[in-house]
Amino acid sequence: MSSSKVPQSASDTALTDPVRYPVSASPPVRTKRAFVLVLLTLLVPGSAQLVAGDRRLGRAALRVTLCVWALLVLALLLLIVNRTALVSIITNPFASLAIVIVLVALAAGWAVLFINTLRLIRPVLLAPPARPAVGIALVVALVLGSGSLGYAAYLLNVSRNAIGSIFSSGPAIDPVDGRYNFLMMGGDAGDDRTGRRPDSLSVLSVDAETGQTAIISVPRNLQNAQFSEGSPMRAIYPDGYDCGDECLINAINTEVTNEYADLYPGVADPGAQATLEAVSGTLGLTVQAYVLVDMEGFSTLIDAMGGIRIKAGGWVPMSGYFDEFSRTYGVPLGWIPAGEQTLNGNQALWYGRSREYVDDYARIQRQQCVQQAMLKQLDPATLLSKFEDIVNAGTQVVESNISSTQLGSFVDLAIKARGQDVKRLTIGPPDFDASFSTVPDFDQIHVRVDELLASASSAQSLGTPDDAIAVPAAGGGPVQAAGAYAPTASLLAGGSLPHQPTPSDFIPVTTTPDGEPITEELLNQLKREGNEQAIAGLVATNGQCAAL
């Protein structure tokens, strides 16, 4: 008799366990048990099944959970010690596809565990007032857990498709003299053009170790551009692109696309590649890759970001009808005021394009400012909240021959460059005479480019602020060069230089010389009166710009 009571007692104890057998528990305990099981499934998937359900399913899910945790720890370690490798894995087309599949499988498995947890809770045993609360808690946990993994898979797949659309599958590039040099082109594709005519040409030269960046702007109207050694176009134009006044550097893209594409077999965009070779030869610099931004789609990208913030030095017209006979514009469609502004896509496009009343060099400065504002304001919060719109806009806007396999190292380099001051050189005013682009001295250009890159390394090693170095103007005297600087004997010797205003140290012109506020009505009235000279005086500073 006594021996038969022991198993009965153990069985009775097991049946009264409220976690496994909620039937015998009180209503408050059942409610508490339900919330605990939901929390366990959210924090340690599989643990709810282990303590209250199918232990075999719980052990299998727990093993997967521990493996995922181990991978997350490994990813965190990579982020700390080798960020480049982590980004390379994520951006690799095959690795990213595998990650997407794993994330989808994990999301589905986690959802199954939540459904199984609902079965374990047995809602019919709960007090009626507690059922909605438990149901809401389970749905919220399901969204936080399984939903987050599913959304992460979706975002990664969107990124993967965008990377495949924008970047090439070619070989990786190596730094030259310790720097990566990228040609940034702002292209205009019109109905009357074949391909995109690059109206904006800038070389970003980035130190491969530190990320310190210099920008060299090449005017679109540069004549007699020199093709680099090894360029197929050098056989066509051995003395430079010298076929007349119409042979400006920005015409190379269209000419090569229309007439010489066969010289570039296997090249996705022969016109862009030929333009890269012309910029390389002109600057005496090996430019390894290009990024071409379509200016029409550019406005879509800025709208997707929610606009960009700038400080404008002067009013900029959004030009109206252009009369071919008189070669004059009508009353502008609108004006972008001086001062701090948030520009939408259309305004930003006009801000970079408008050329009324100022020269091309002011326009180049505005275009660079818009680019900087985009990079500065594309923070993680903006990227996450508008991710799909930004990525979809980007695939319509950007074309590049940068290899997707190298994105990891370049993302890491961009992070290093973020926040560092940028040096500048313009092959035109204020660094060269306005007529220099018509009869350029390429030996002089090469010297100034070498000085710019040398000054970047010197200023950084000496701790000198980038914007505190002066350069000689083409005419002789020292000028403040809007961010492009050459080293001086004093600097190289470790001496100090007087502070020069940085490009952002300007006061927007918002009033006339008489102190009257400049308004759109005033400018349009002057336009209707034909007083172009007065308008030009009031908006002469509109090349000044700073990203906020």
**Which CATH number is 308's domain given?**
3.40.630.190
> What CA–CA distance (Å, rounded) separates 478 from 527?
37
Long-range contacts, 267-276 (Cβ 8 Å, 24+): 268/168, 268/401, 269/195, 269/399, 269/401, 271/195, 271/196, 272/185, 272/198, 272/399, 272/401, 273/401, 274/227, 274/231, 274/232, 274/233, 275/183, 275/185, 275/198, 275/201, 275/249, 275/250, 276/183
Task: Indicate whether 241 belongs to any domain.
Answer: yes
Strand order in the sheet with 398-400: 398-400, 289-294, 179-188, 197-207, 213-218, 423-426
Per-position DSSP letters for 302-339, written without gaps between them? HHHHT-EEEEESS-EEE---EETTTTEE-S-SEEE-SE
My answer on whether 271 and 297 are in the same domain is: no
Q: Which of 56-70, 233-247, 413-427 has the lowest mean pLDDT?
A: 413-427
What does the angle CA 438 – CA 441 – CA 447 come to, to the nearest 5 degrees?
140
> What CA–CA distance (Å, rounded) separates 472 from 466?
16
Q: What pLDDT, on a 0 to 100 scale, did the predictor assign at position 227?
A: 92
Q: What pLDDT, on a 0 to 100 scale, did the predictor assign at position 390?
A: 63
> Which residue carries 């565990």 as its tokens?
113
Task: Indicate whether 300 belongs to any domain.
Answer: yes
> What CA–CA distance (Å, rounded) separates 413 from 419?
12
The predicted model gives 442-459 an average pLDDT of 81
Chain centroid to CA 495: 37
Confidence check: pLDDT of 45 > 70: yes
> What CA–CA distance (Å, rounded) separates 28 from 131?
12
The predicted model gives 51-55 an average pLDDT of 88
Q: Which of 39-48, 90-99, 333-342, 507-516 has the lowest mean pLDDT?
A: 90-99
Q: What pLDDT, on a 0 to 100 scale, did the predictor assign at position 411?
A: 72
Q: What pLDDT, on a 0 to 100 scale, did the predictor assign at position 194?
A: 46
When comparing pLDDT for 77 and 243, which is higher?
Answer: 77
Structural domain range at position 479:
180-287+422-496
> What CA–CA distance (Å, rounded) separates 474 from 436?
9
Q: Quick: pLDDT tens for 514-535.
A: 888 888 888 988 888 888 888 8
Last residue of a domain, one of 475, 496, 517: 496
The secondary structure of residue 243, as a DSSP letter, is S
My answer on whether 443 and 520 are in the same domain is: no
First-to-last CA distance in the chain?
Answer: 88
Q: What pLDDT, on a 0 to 100 scale, did the predictor assign at position 221?
A: 84
Q: List phi, psi (to 5°) of 381.
A: -65, -45
Q: What confidence category does residue 1 fall into, taking pLDDT thresholds of 50, 70 and 90? A: very low
My answer on whether 21 and 161 are in the same domain is: yes
Long-range contacts, 51-56 (Cβ 8 Å, 24+): 51/19, 51/20, 52/19, 52/20, 52/120, 53/116, 53/117, 53/119, 53/120, 54/116
Q: What pLDDT, on a 0 to 100 scale, did the predictor assign at position 383?
A: 57
Which residues, in sequence order, are bridge partners of residue 426? 217
My answer on whether 277 and 299 are in the same domain is: no
My answer on whether 359 and 275 are in the same domain is: no
Confidence check: pLDDT of 471 > 80: no
What does the angle CA 262 – CA 267 – CA 268 come to, to the nearest 5 degrees?
110
The average confidence (pLDDT) of the chain is 78
Q: What pLDDT, on a 0 to 100 scale, did the predictor assign at position 8?
A: 47
Q: What pLDDT, on a 0 to 100 scale, did the predictor assign at position 277?
A: 92
Q: What pLDDT, on a 0 to 100 scale, did the predictor assign at position 389?
A: 62
Contacts of 482 (CB under 8 A, 6+ apart): 365, 424, 426, 430, 431, 503
The secondary structure of residue 249, as a DSSP letter, is G
Number of H helices, E strands in the chain: 20, 15
Q: How many domains does the chain have?
A: 3
Q: What confidence category does residue 480 fall into, taking pLDDT thresholds of 50, 70 and 90? A: very low
The predicted model gives 85-90 an average pLDDT of 78
Q: Quick: pLDDT tens for 315-336.
A: 999 887 776 676 677 888 889 8
The predicted model gives 358-386 an average pLDDT of 71
Confidence check: pLDDT of 51 > 80: yes
> What CA–CA distance (Å, rounded) separates 278 from 241?
9
Percent with pLDDT over 70 in the chain: 77
Strand order in the sheet with 339-343: 339-343, 308-312, 545-547
3-state helix, strand, coil in the chain (%, to 5): 55, 15, 35
Q: Quick: pLDDT tens for 151-165.
A: 889 888 877 777 766
My answer on whether 319 and 283 are in the same domain is: no
Last residue of a domain, one of 138, 166, 194: 166
> What CA–CA distance (Å, rounded) separates 476 from 360?
22
Q: What pLDDT, on a 0 to 100 scale, did the predictor assign at position 435?
A: 82
Confidence check: pLDDT of 396 > 70: no
Q: Which of 131-145, 385-399, 452-466, 488-502 has the lowest mean pLDDT?
A: 488-502
My answer on whether 121 and 152 are in the same domain is: yes
Last residue of a domain, one of 115, 143, 166: 166
Of 40, 452, 398, nearest to 284 by C-alpha is 452
When comparing pLDDT for 411 and 113, which is higher?
Answer: 113
Q: What pLDDT, on a 0 to 100 scale, did the predictor assign at position 18?
A: 76
My answer on whether 448 and 516 are in the same domain is: no
